[in-house]
Chain A
Amino acid sequence: MTAPLLETVDLKKHYGGTRKLLQRPKPLVKAVDGIDLQLAPGEVLGLVGESGCGKSTLARTLLGLERETEGKILFEGKDVGGRGASAARAIRSDIQYVHQDPGAALDPWWRIGDTLHETLKIHGVTDKAERDARIEEMLLAVGLNDSFRRRYPHELSGGQQRRVGLARTLSLRPRLVILDEPTSGLDLSVQATVLKLMLELRAQYDLTYLFISHDLSVVERLCDRVAIMYLGRIVEIGAAEQVFSKPAHPYTQALLASAPTLERQEAGKPIEGDPPSPTNRPDGCPFHPRCPMAEAACRQSVPDLADVAAAHRVACPPALRTLTPQ
């Protein structure tokens, strides 16, 4: 394996838990609780999980908008963690973010062109001619013509807004792009063109994607590897076809079984119960109260990721035992 572009070591982001002067103590929320992740250059890693499992917090922490509580963030082997928001953004300008709803991410009072100019200006591109050239190139690359510069965000369709969002981020020449639910709220045909565009852009600009989604079919189509997240931890990670064809963790199995498919089949057994509140997480494996395979040991200690097969790791000892007989 080549040297990873981005690596996190035991990354944690906790909120609250401290008591400020004259304020009620806030409960401790372990939004991201010990994540080890490696992103190889050029790959697309899908990050899947229920709402509130910490996907977005992880993205914000990687971007530097939130300061990590513990752990390391390495970009090309260099430690880029442990900084406040503005310093972290400055050093991690190779990592950029595309918003879930790029339409709402545009200031309604600004023309598209002005927004694109501003984004570049923030990143220190002072020469107006160069900005113009880059904007023209990026608009072309995402399949919009130059006339879009004069439009306001509300004059664009959902697909066009997403293209503008991509152009805005890519004009900064990032190496790693975090895509947050890039296809939510689009109809299927637009979704397909946007996904195709993303893959083309990746090839054209040598990008690495961290793809956050809960649309499993999109993840399966687009991603090289998939990481499944549950309550701030990665419970399974592996090559996409492996995870989708032979899911090892009971949570992944339930998640795949509950995904809607076109073929008529028996609906998979839904996961029972709600995800536990992150303020009051169960001891041991966070999934054990809802897990059909739970045993006494699961209540004792938090399981770590272990190899099931080559490049396929899972954090579930009982599943591991059945899959790899000793």
Chain B
Amino acid sequence: MRRYITQRLLSAVIVLFGVSILVFMVLHLTPGDPVEIMLGPTARPGDIERLRAELGLTDPLPVQYVRWVSRALQGDLGRSIQLNRPVLPELLSRFQATLILAVAAAIIAFSLGLLLGVISAVNHNKLVDRVVAGFAMLAVSMPAFWVGMIGIVVFAVNLRWLPASGMYPPQGAPSWGKLLVHLIMPATTLALVPMAVIARFTRSQMLEVLGQEFVLTARAKGVPRARVIVDHAFGNTLVALITLLGLEAGILLAGAVYVETVFAWPGIGSLMVEAILKRDFPIVQGGVLVIATSYVLINLLTDLLHAAADPRIRVT
């Protein structure tokens, strides 16, 4: 177990190193002079020179990289060109909003996905199973940004049940209740694809487990069918489901970009889209770095959790 953890930590560090190089290179892959692009055609030559020196772009690449990484490790990701503020605090406050959205969506996705998957598996090849399969197929085929807009038209514009955008109403003090109301639509929209993925995975995993001999053994022991499903099949399915956590986190973080744009949710995804359109490179760079790092950590956590839950890995 200890060796496994060390191994996983080490590979996470290597991946993060690769991520940092890739993110660093993003700025240098840009065709043309990044500084001129950032400042636009109206910039004065003096400003260009000043920003170039400020960004250290005149040094050799490895020097720039080392400086950039060591600053990043100290929490200094530079200043946003548009907002003229340090990048990190801005990113973190936006990331918080994304996390709230993603966690809410994850809760919806896992509870409904598990339920649908188990129902499907237990009613294998019956009508319910087919309906769920069709629904799951439809859910993964619908782009979140479109579903979100339909939701706005139906629930915000026509029915007036839910707010169309934002985290809180424009006026008045923020509160948990208001947050919750604002969360319902974006979180449900974001949950759709991961829910379908979980439902399909749970179904196939349950079917596989139910077909294994130890399930038959339990039945032969006289364990009632419902208890076999709960005690033997579901436990094994859950452990397998842990491996899906990382993938789900990826789907959620990616989907958040679109959902945040549609619902004007003040998260890191919509911030990055704005930043790219406005050529605010430090924000883009920092944002990619923050999201990729947290994604690597989530995957690391997933593996460790899986190892802890499965005795076959735990002991060795």
A and B interact physically: no
Chain A positions within 8 Å of B, measured between CB atoms, are none
Chain B positions within 8 Å of A, measured between CB atoms, are none
